[in-house]
Amino acid sequence: MISNSQREALIQAAVAVRERAYAPYSKYKVGAALLAADGRIFTGVNVENASYGLTICAERTAVFKAISEGCRDFTAVAVATENAGSPCGACRQVLAEFAGDVPVWLVDAAGHGRVTTLYALLPDHFGPEHLL
């Protein structure tokens, strides 16, 4: 369980980083923040590309950033969009690989929204344990 102050810091990090998103085509800016077990927060934004298939979502940016910094243990996620939208399927799968069934806050640009869990967003997930 995370503390109220950790939750607020996580949500505010997602809301703040959202402004750095590069979304000239969709105009749908997304910010994501991951809380690591050691207390660090890793952020990411969506980065669009004129070749749409090369676009990367904020959630995956945050995960890959954390992994590249040696962190693989997460306790919570926050995603900020204009309308408290939910992560896409690819992001849900990547988060499931590294975060497990953590709380996920889906918030709007003002930081208001709802909390759910990763496995509620991705029921019957596929993970490394299925490859044995």
Domain of 80, CATH number, reads: 3.40.140.10
Tell me, yes or no, if 19 is annotated catalytic: no
Residue 127 lies in a domain: no
User: Which candidate in 8, 19, 48, 59 is catalytic?
Assistant: 59
Q: Quick one: average pLDDT of 100-124?
A: 96
Quote the domain boundaries for residue 82. 4-121
Q: Specify the DSSP class assigned to residue 87.
A: P
Question: What's the whole-model pTM score?
Answer: 0.95
Whether 45 and 57 have beta carbons less than 8 Å apart is answered as no
Residue 11 lies in a domain: yes
Q: How far apart are the first and last CA of the chain?
A: 30
Residue 126 lies in a domain: no
Count the domains in the chain: 1
The C-alpha atoms of residue 71 and residue 1 are separated, in whole angstroms, by: 19
126 — pLDDT class (breaks 50, 70, 90) = confident
pLDDT tens, position by position, 78-101: 999 999 999 999 999 999 999 989
Residues 6+ apart with CB under 8 A from 123: none
Among residues 7, 26, 3, the alpha carbon closest in space to that of 107 is found at: 7
pLDDT tens, position by position, 33-63: 999 999 999 999 999 999 999 999 999 999 9
